[in-house]
Chain A
Amino acid sequence: MNPQLSRRRFIKAVIASSVAAASSSGIHSALAQDRPRGAVERLISLNINGQTRRVDVSPQETLAHTLRYKLGLTGTKIGCNRGECGACTVIIDGVTNYSCSTLTHSVRTRAVQTVEGVQSADGSLHPVQQAFIDELSPQCGFCTPGQVMSAVALLQENPKPTRDEVRHAMAGNLCRCGAYDHYLNGVMRASGQNS
């Protein structure tokens, strides 16, 4: 299995971002004390899918909330809002993160990629997306954007993973329809390998 993008590294990334989130939210709560009561929101710039987006973000706001409800990027789904299901998976500086468990303020200096940002500039589908269509990977589709993001991040780090490596790399993305086999087929196809 590829040590570069193991489940452990994924978890470490989540923990690291939480630490960053905790420290930045500390700064903001400190700043907030100097402002009139209620004036806790701040206009910040985010790098989302290569574009700079200006958005009002409260200190405790999660990235999933900002993406879905302030930036209209509803491809990122909230399945559990507690870091279990992976439907909200996005890529931050090349590493998958649960956006429901990431504070928006913690990603101000980082590059965020959502499912809306994986297609090419000309609109053609990412190989993962095309492979998921060809393998009829999604069933209900609610977990699919998260599955896409995990697969895209994996193939960036490990273009020719084994099926078992894919299985471990995707293990943070639950699918109640049980379409795991079809998603694995999709990732293997996207990597140009037989499933």
Chain B
Amino acid sequence: MSDYRLVGKDFTPPDVTGKVTGKAKYAEDFRVDGMVFARMYTSPMAHARVTNIDTSAAEAMDGVVGILTADDVPEVEAPNAAILTNSPAYIGDPILAVAAETEQIAENAMAAIKIDMEPLPFVTDPLDSLIEGGANAREEGNVYARSQEGSGFRTIKWSKEQVDEFRAGKEPTGEFGSEWSYGDIDKAMADAELVFEEPFVTTGYAHMSMEPRTAMAYWENGKCYVHGSAQSQSFWMPGLARLLGVEVEEVVLISENTGGGFGSKIGAYPIAALPGWFSKKINRPVQLRVTREQEYYMGSARVGFQGWIRMGFAADGSILGSDVFIIEDIGANATGGDASSAGGAISLVYNAGAMRFRGLPVLTNTTPRGAQRGPGQNQIAAVMAPIMDKAAKQLSIDPVEIRKINATNNDSLVYSDRRTVTSAYMDEALDKGAEMFDWERRKNQPRKNGSKVRGLGIGQGYHSAGATGFDGLIRITPDGKLHVHTGVGNLGTYSYASTSRAAAEVLNFDWEDCEIHRGNSENNLPWNSYQAGSVSTFAHTRTNYVAAMDALRKMKAIAADTMGGEPDDYEIDGKRIFRSDNAAQGMSYGAIAARAIQLGGEYSGQTYPDDINAITKRSVENLAGTGLVGVAKDNLPQEGVIPGLACAFVEIEMDLETGKYEILDYVGIAECGSVLFPAGLAQQMKGGAVWGMGMAALERHVYDPQNGLPANIGYHQCGIPSYLDVPSVTRTSAVDLPDPQNPFGARGIGEPAMGCSVAALTSAISDALDGHIFGRTPVSPDMVVNHVTGRDQSFLPLQTNNF
């Protein structure tokens, strides 16, 4: 446990009460005078060209206020997502919108619109596009690689033999899109005691945030006010302004609460700008209420993998080499990068001696993809766990031990550029998990009981968990209160609040004397990170630390200026600043703030550092003269990869007659540096566990390959886990060792919390089936029954998005 007063301690984040009383407002809860309702006409075809739009009958209907088409919004170069398009590339791609006095009128008007479309070839499985003669998801090509060196379309085709060999689990010989490596992979495999290859599929699936991406907008005094469902707050601003075609200062984003994001709402997405454009056109406030079905069609989904991996192990269990090839299903808008991240995760989590990664991002006419909780890292975590078990079994090494042998530690070098890590304690996490789970006892227990068999699994999760260079902004007012301005965003992790406490900690404030300003860009917020990528804990304990240190420096300078002596002669106790050698001589925080206002200049924000972001500068200018202002960019030293790590132990009981399994016990261990907010950490670890359970067993896209239709556009079709799909109790803990590159020792955890879970489950499933590796997520009961009874699976090897 920490020695801090606030950091590392539980508290009640200020927004929780609103959530339990129903007073917390989300984008759809706002209504303004004169507001009209927009509904979208979305593509009924998986790939097409719109040749004619006739809206005359709809426009003549009573209550219809206007129509917005692709001609009214900025054109976007394919494959990037447009607000509206005349070249739809998946079923549900938005083509136009109708605004009306009621949603019902808008919906009726939709039926009166005539759209002529010319169908184009389409594809829902990357391998069906890759094979000679297969359709391209875009007219420009079937592969789109994004890289810093340049992004662009390509057309890559493999021969039927090459696809067949890949399906048969052999090393792919077809062309790929990108490659990186380190070490000598051929030598590593030659030196290895044990080498084996595994094909794998991880099917994509929807983010399924509970709040659909509804947005409402209106223009007032030259500014566009947007009520949006945003994962991040300040980080949305540049993108939202760009989408609306205005300057950042001409946009106001209100997003006090967001009903989940999980990567699907990190930056401003095109549809969030639709009401703004519509409102500009018809001069009325416009709300676009996105339905659950639409959320599935055009929301966001995880990238799918079809891959092959070869692993080489030494006799002592250490991984000498890892050679991985991943085809990623990047949908029609080419959002990916998961595959290379998966390669990075192999490098980091398993400390592979030599490594080669080859990737091929293939476009499909399926729902848009986006970063989803552990994008890449969590897919590969699921793939790797049973492979580690297989190696352990063949080398007669304990499954915990083989993971410890390969665990990243403080001395590891990771990724292709062989970077250091800030700190890593996977060994300790595995030890802690094994102890809590009672691994030694359980591994020797009888496994079979009639048709039921128990399986034990161990999983490891990883995501880089930090960012630097963002700004902190705080204020002490003459009433003696601390105001922390945060632009982190609020999607439910409470990191906006837990990181704000870093400033209070530095200045010794009682939490009751602190107020957090957030949720509306007019609340004078600083430039803060995306609320994603597990970064906010690391990034914003640092920004609030540097802002508080700036305030402390100013407090001491004012004290010395007012009461004599040098700044270093003074110290603080949370209410007063006073001389170290004479506590009686001092000033209250309120008096110091009042004095800061009198003095002006940097003390009250009239001047500020040059290196802060323009968004922070505007906020400081607005706040100038209202108190003692602490503002700074996070320039603290930072070197190496900042890992968020986790491991999990699970026991399942699988019924071989039904193929279903029950999770009997789950232990998740976080390795996220020092614990910042214990209850929040437990929530992330347990919520992440549920996500992993969903990915392992339930969640997947299903497409009708004949028509390109998504078959799952409802929660239960998509397999979201319910109370009854997960254990009633999940146990979690943390290693709780400080990271040296964070002032409070903290790193992030949101994504590894899931990766360790899905991996533990694929490991346990394999264990229950005597080491059989499906190499696929999700593992559905029919797959288990087919395996147990020796039947063929109902799908082709490596098929994806299938029934």
User: A residues engaging B (CB < 8 A)?
Assistant: 68-69, 73-82, 84-85, 87, 114-116, 119, 125, 128-129, 132-134, 136-145, 148, 163-164, 167-168, 170-171, 173-182, 184
3 A-B pairs with the lowest CB-CB distances in the bound complex, closest first = A75-B22, A178-B690, A142-B259
- In the complex, are the beta carbons of B26 and A133 less than 8 A apart? no
| Residues of chain B lying within 8 A (CB to CB) of residue A168 | 723-724
| Residues of chain A lying within 8 A (CB to CB) of residue B691 | 178
19 A-B residue pairs with Cβ-Cβ distance under 8 Å, sorted by A, are A77-B211, A80-B714, A81-B292, A115-B22, A125-B21, A129-B21, A136-B16, A138-B19, A139-B683, A140-B491, A167-B728, A176-B209, A176-B720, A177-B687, A178-B689, A178-B690, A179-B687, A182-B682, A184-B723
Tell me the count of chain B residues lying within 8 A, CB to CB, of chain A: 57
Smallest CB gap from A100: residue in B = B292
> With A133-B20, A142-B210 in contact, do A178 and B492 touch (Cβ < 8 Å)?
no
In angstroms, Cα B29 to Cα A69, docked, is 9
Smallest CB gap from B295: residue in A = A80
Which residues from 672 to 724 on chain B have a C-beta closer than 8 Å to any C-beta of chain A?
Answer: 679-680, 682-683, 686-691, 714-716, 720-724
In angstroms, Cα B726 to Cα A163, docked, is 13
- In the complex, are the beta carbons of B728 and A87 less than 8 A apart? no
Q: How far is the CB of A104 from chain B (nearest CB, A)?
A: 15
In angstroms, Cα B29 to Cα A73, docked, is 9
> With A87-B210, A139-B493, A163-B728 in contact, do A179 and B683 touch (Cβ < 8 Å)?
yes
Smallest CB gap from B724: residue in A = A171
Q: How far is the CB of A76 from chain B (nearest CB, A)?
A: 7
Does chain A have a CB within 8 A of B12? yes
Q: How far is the CB of B537 from chain A (nearest CB, A)?
A: 15
- In the complex, are the beta carbons of A79 and B292 less than 8 A apart? yes
Smallest CB gap from B757: residue in A = A178
Q: How far is the CB of B694 from chain A (nearest CB, A)?
A: 8
In angstroms, Cα B211 to Cα A119, docked, is 24
Besides the known contacts A77-B26, A170-B723, A180-B723, 17 further A-B residue pairs in the complex with CB atoms under 8 A apart = A76-B22, A77-B211, A82-B714, A85-B210, A139-B492, A139-B687, A140-B209, A140-B261, A141-B259, A142-B210, A142-B260, A163-B729, A168-B723, A175-B210, A176-B260, A180-B726, A184-B728
- In the complex, are the beta carbons of B726 and A178 less than 8 A apart? yes
- In the complex, are the beta carbons of B720 and A174 less than 8 A apart? yes
Does chain A have a CB within 8 A of B550? no
Q: How far is the CB of B209 from chain A (nearest CB, A)?
A: 6
> With A80-B292, A136-B683, A140-B492 in contact, do A129 and B20 touch (Cβ < 8 Å)?
yes
In angstroms, Cα B15 to Cα A73, docked, is 18
| Residues of chain B lying within 8 A (CB to CB) of residue A141 | 15-16, 18-19, 24, 257, 259, 492
Does chain A have a CB within 8 A of B258? yes
Smallest CB gap from A132: residue in B = B20
Smallest CB gap from B30: residue in A = A74
Smallest CB gap from A145: residue in B = B22
Q: For B15, B21, B211, B730, which residue has the most chain A Cβ atoms within 10 angstroms?
A: B21
Q: How far is the CB of B300 from chain A (nearest CB, A)?
A: 13
Smallest CB gap from A178: residue in B = B690
Smallest CB gap from B720: residue in A = A174
Does chain A have a CB within 8 A of B419? no
In angstroms, Cα B208 to Cα A31, docked, is 41
In angstroms, Cα B21 to Cα A125, docked, is 8
| Residues of chain A lying within 8 A (CB to CB) of residue B679 | 136
- In the complex, are the beta carbons of B291 and A171 less than 8 A apart? no
| Residues of chain B lying within 8 A (CB to CB) of residue A128 | 20
| Residues of chain A lying within 8 A (CB to CB) of residue B714 | 80, 82, 84
| Residues of chain A lying within 8 A (CB to CB) of residue B690 | 178, 180
Smallest CB gap from B258: residue in A = A140
Instruction: Point out the residue from A79, A133, A181 that lies within 8 Å of B16, measured CB to CB.
Output: A133
> With A171-B722, A179-B683 in contact, do A138 and B28 touch (Cβ < 8 Å)?
no
Q: Mark B199-213, 1 if CB is under 8 A from A, else 0.
A: 000000000111110
- In the complex, are the beta carbons of A178 and B715 less than 8 A apart? no
In angstroms, Cα B714 to Cα A57, docked, is 27
Smallest CB gap from B289: residue in A = A78
In angstroms, Cα B13 to Cα A180, docked, is 19
In angstroms, Cα B260 to Cα A144, docked, is 12
- In the complex, are the beta carbons of B721 and A178 less than 8 A apart? yes
- In the complex, are the beta carbons of B262 and A176 less than 8 A apart? yes
Smallest CB gap from A175: residue in B = B210
| Residues of chain B lying within 8 A (CB to CB) of residue A177 | 210, 260, 492, 683, 687
Q: How far is the CB of B713 from chain A (nearest CB, A)?
A: 10
In angstroms, Cα B679 to Cα A136, docked, is 7
Smallest CB gap from A123: residue in B = B21
- In the complex, are the beta carbons of B683 and A74 less than 8 A apart? no
Instruction: Point out the residue from B210, B257, B262, B491 that lies within 8 Å of A174, measured CB to CB.
Output: B210
- In the complex, are the beta carbons of A182 and B683 less than 8 A apart? yes
| Residues of chain A lying within 8 A (CB to CB) of residue B16 | 132-133, 136, 138, 141
- In the complex, are the beta carbons of B209 and A133 less than 8 A apart? no
- In the complex, are the beta carbons of A178 and B292 less than 8 A apart? no
- In the complex, are the beta carbons of A81 and B291 less than 8 A apart? yes
| Residues of chain B lying within 8 A (CB to CB) of residue A171 | 722-724
Does chain A have a CB within 8 A of B25? yes
> With A141-B492, A178-B687 in contact, do A79 and B723 touch (Cβ < 8 Å)?
no
Instruction: Point out the residue from A75, A167, A184 that lies within 8 Å of B23, measured CB to CB.
Output: A75
| Residues of chain B lying within 8 A (CB to CB) of residue A132 | 16, 20
